[in-house]
């Protein structure tokens, strides 16, 4: 068992019968979905709300009941991964390209739990490139502005050599910042930049982080 598997399985213990659950995206969430599917197969009742088409496909394969975000009144808890998380439980998300839907589902949730392996725990955010989702129309002008600010943006590409396109049909600019001295200030700047749909700074948006370690044990950080 690796850290991702340990964290994913531990998170399944947080889920109660009858809940509406936000289902995140990524390699650690895979193990959570796997554990959840076993509970459903044994008669567990729940409804899932996915943050990406990848998660929908996996949930359908494993016969996890699903609804669209617009079809549920509330989400009891969302379980998702993160690319970085600091001691204040702030994080960077969106390495898998699902940041917009992940933030929408998180905002609709009463509780949020992140599951990560130990390598994702950092002292300061920013070593992982910060994803910024932008509209394709005029994206080069957003790129130029971010370049002038010294944020070192790079357009994300798919495996076929074409620009990566999100589920919402946008592009992603990854900012290579190395470190982020003031995450709140940067988030506010990006929130007000025309052409930016969403960014991967998730600040004050989780109450619990489950960290998995290679030996199979987990550590829980809570606010």
Q: Which position among 102, 198, 219, 222 bears the catalytic label?
A: 102
Q: Is 27 marked as binding a ligand?
A: yes
**Is residue 7 annotated as involved in ligand binding?**
no
C-beta separation of 174 from 127 below 8 A: no
Q: Which distant-in-sequence residues (6+ apart) come within 8 Å of 219 by Cβ?
A: 210, 211, 213
187 marked as binding residue: no
Catalytic residue flag (residue 102): yes
How far is the C-alpha of 11 from the C-alpha of 29, rounded, in Å?
Answer: 9
82 assigned ligand-binding residue: yes
Residue 80 assigned to a binding site:
yes
223 is in an annotated binding site: no
Residue 94 labeled ligand binder: yes
Is 200 annotated in a binding site? The answer is: no
Cα separations in angstroms, 165 against 17, 110, 170, 172, 203:
36, 30, 5, 7, 25
Is 103 labeled as ligand-binding? Answer: no
Of the CA atoms within 13 Å of residue 223, those in its CB half-sphere come to: 14
Written as one string, the DSSP assignment of 34-96 is: HHHHHHHHTT---EEEESSHHHHHHHHHTT--B--GGG-S-EEEEEE--SEE-TTS-EE--TT
User: Which segments are annotated as binding site?
Assistant: 25-28, 80-83, 93-96, 120
User: Which segments are annotated as binding site for substrate?
Assistant: 25-28, 80-83, 93-96, 120
Q: Which residues are catalytic?
A: 102
């Amino acid at each position: 068992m690796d850290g991702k598997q340990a964290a994913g399985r531990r998170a399944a213990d947080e889920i109660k019968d009858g809940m509406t659950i936000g289902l995140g995206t990524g390699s650690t969430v895979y193990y959570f979905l796997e554990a959840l599917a076993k509970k459903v197969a044994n008669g567990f009742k729940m409804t899932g709300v996915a943050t990406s088409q990848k998660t929908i496909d996996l949930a359908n394969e494993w016969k996890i009941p699903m609804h669209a975000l617009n079809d549920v009144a509330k989400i009891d808890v969302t379980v998702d991964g993160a690319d970085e998380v600091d001691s204040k439980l702030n994080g960077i998300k969106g390495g898998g390209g699902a940041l917009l839907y992940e933030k929408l589902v998180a905002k609709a949730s009463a509780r949020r739990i992140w599951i990560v392996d130990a390598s994702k725990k950092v002292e300061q955010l920013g070593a992982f490139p910060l994803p910024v989702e932008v509209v394709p129309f005029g994206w080069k002008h957003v790129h130029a502005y971010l370049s002038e600010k010294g944020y070192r943006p790079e357009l994300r590409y798919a495996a076929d050599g074409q620009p990566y396109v999100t589920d919402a049909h946008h592009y992603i600019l990854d900012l290579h910042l190395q470190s982020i001295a003031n995450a709140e200030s940067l988030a506010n700047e990006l929130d007000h930049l025309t052409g930016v749909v969403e960014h991967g700074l998730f600040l004050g948006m989780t109450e619990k982080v489950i960290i998995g370690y290679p030996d199979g044990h987990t550590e829980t950080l809570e606010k």
